[in-house]
């Protein structure tokens, strides 16, 4: 299952196929995508306030939005953690915008 949350040109792509219960560090079930197509995992972006491995700062309004949707993101991952199947076609965390 996929779900996209949007705010001011930014989006968070939630993808249950990227959830691996036996290997929680694998996959990217919650990916933040900037209007310019820069990406970062949701939790990394929330923790650092940066995207694309720290090359860009996330605007404060977007940081507040990401904080507001944290429960929804965590709930999505928790609900689907028993249903995720590996996406064998892509083991990378970058998606095309």
Average pLDDT, the chain: 85
- pLDDT tens for residues 45-90? 999 999 998 899 999 999 999 999 999 999 999 898 864 444 333 3
Asked if residue 88 is part of any domain, the answer here is no
8 phi/psi in degrees, rounded to 5: 50, 45
Domain that holds residue 75: 2-80
Domain count, the chain: 1
User: Which spans in 13-90 are helix H?
Assistant: 42-48, 60-68, 70-80
- Rounded Cα distance, 82 and 84, in Å: 6
Residue 55 lies in a domain: yes
Q: How many Å apart are CA 28 and CA 10, to the nearest integer?
A: 17
pLDDT reading at 6 higher than 60: yes
Residue 90, in any domain of the structure:
no
Q: Is the pLDDT of residue 91 over 50?
A: no
Q: Is residue 14 part of a domain?
A: yes
Q: With 0-12 CB in 10 A as exposed, 13-18 as middle and 19+ as buried, what is 67?
A: exposed
């Amino acid at each position: 299952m996929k779900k996209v949350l949007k705010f001011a040109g930014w989006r968070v792509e939630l993808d249950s196929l990227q959830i691996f219960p036996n290997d929680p560090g694998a996959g990217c079930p919650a990916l933040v995508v900037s209007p310019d197509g820069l990406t970062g995992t949701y939790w990394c972006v929330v923790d650092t306030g940066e995207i694309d491995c720290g090359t860009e700062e996330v605007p404060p309004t977007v940081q507040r939005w990401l904080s507001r949707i944290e429960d929804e993101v965590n709930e999505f991952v928790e609900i689907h953690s028993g249903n995720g199947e590996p996406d064998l076609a892509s083991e990378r965390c970058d998606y095309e915008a």
